[in-house]
Amino acid sequence: MSVIVKSLAKHYGGQKAVDQISFTAQPGRILGFLGPNGAGKSTTMKMLTCYLAPTAGEAEICGKSILTQPIEVKKLIGYLPENTPLYMDMYVREFLSFVAQSYGLKNTGQQVEEVIKQVGLTQEQHKKIGMLSKGYKQRVGLAQAIIHRPQVLILDEPTSGLDPNQLTDIRALIKSLGKDKTVIISTHIMQEVEAICDDIIIINKGILVANSSIEALKEQHQSKSLEAIFKTLTLN
């Protein structure tokens, strides 16, 4: 269930949005993917989920190549993009049933019921998505990412817009999911990284500048503050 990235790159003309980065994400460990705005985080995630073709390099998701087996890769991945694409005129339960059917799941009613409970949408399930708060829309996005029980979860800013109570619930859910899945989370919230991540990657201007466990990174930089380390590595 691992994710193996080898010299992955994405260029737009002379601009190197992602510049030959390599890393591995392992099952049972949550990987925090950090970087300032424009560093290449979302571009990398789009390549890993086969929504964007790389200029060079390769990545394997559970042994499947993003270059030659994109359909197989998509079946293995649950993806929550930064701006979750939702059908605002659909009801929550209706939308999740549609997603379940799109994956060809059996017993879709049961699968939808389980995921609604899992992400805390029971009271909102009969509402139109467009009527929900930003936090509940984010929960719908997370529900569609996990409804097919993927082996790998790639989450881009998964707690964006959540209030403190929702934040605690979703962090706990992600940590629970990370026990038996490979989870990669892009976030700019350092407290979130400290709370749920085991390993960390930092990229700056498309270049990998850190790749280790959080404990090892702090020891290496002789710092108790992850935020201070982040600032040091992304100043230039």
- Residue indicated by tokens 């097919």: 148
Size (the chain), residues: 236
pLDDT at 93 over 70: yes
> pLDDT (tens digit, 9 = 90+) per residue, 104-154?
999 999 999 999 999 989 999 999 999 998 888 989 999 999 999 999 999
H helix intervals, 9-133 = 41-48, 70-76, 92-102, 108-119
Rounded Cα–Cα distance for residues 113 and 94 (Å):
11
pLDDT at 187 over 90: no
- Domains recognised in the chain with CATH numbers: 3-172+181-233 (3.40.50.300)
Considering only CA atoms, which of 141, 134, 56 is closest in space to residue 96? Answer: 141
> pLDDT (tens digit, 9 = 90+) per residue, 145-166?
999 999 999 998 888 777 888 7
Strands (E) located in the chain: 3-12, 15-25, 30-34, 56-61, 64-65, 77-80, 152-156, 182-186, 199-204, 207-213
> pLDDT (tens digit, 9 = 90+) per residue, 12-68?
998 999 999 999 999 999 999 999 888 999 899 999 999 999 999 999 999 999 999
pLDDT at 90 over 90: yes
Q: What backbone torsions phi and psi does residue 107 show, to the nearest 5 degrees?
A: 50, 55
Say what the pLDDT of residue 160 is. 75
> Following DSSP, what letter does each residue of 186-211 receive, concatenated?
E-S-HHHHHHH-SEEEEEETTEEEEE
Order of strands, sheet of 199-204, starting from the edge strand that comes earlier in the sequence: 77-80, 152-156, 182-186, 30-34, 199-204, 207-213
Say what the pLDDT of residue 8 is. 97
Rounded Cα–Cα distance for residues 51 and 90 (Å):
24
What is the Cα 131 distance to its own chain's centre?
Answer: 25
pLDDT at 1 over 70: no
Which tokens in the block code for residue 228?
């201070």
Q: What mean pLDDT do residues 190-218 have?
A: 91
CB atoms within 10 A of CB 222: 7
Say what the pLDDT of residue 167 is. 83
Rounded Cα–Cα distance for residues 104 and 98 (Å):
10
Residue 236 pLDDT grade (very low, low, confident, very high; cuts 50, 70, 90): low
Say what the pLDDT of residue 131 is. 95
Say what the pLDDT of residue 189 is. 81
Residue 89 pLDDT grade (very low, low, confident, very high; cuts 50, 70, 90): very high
The residues facing 211 across adjacent strands are: 201
pTM score, two decimals? 0.91
Say what the pLDDT of residue 224 is. 74
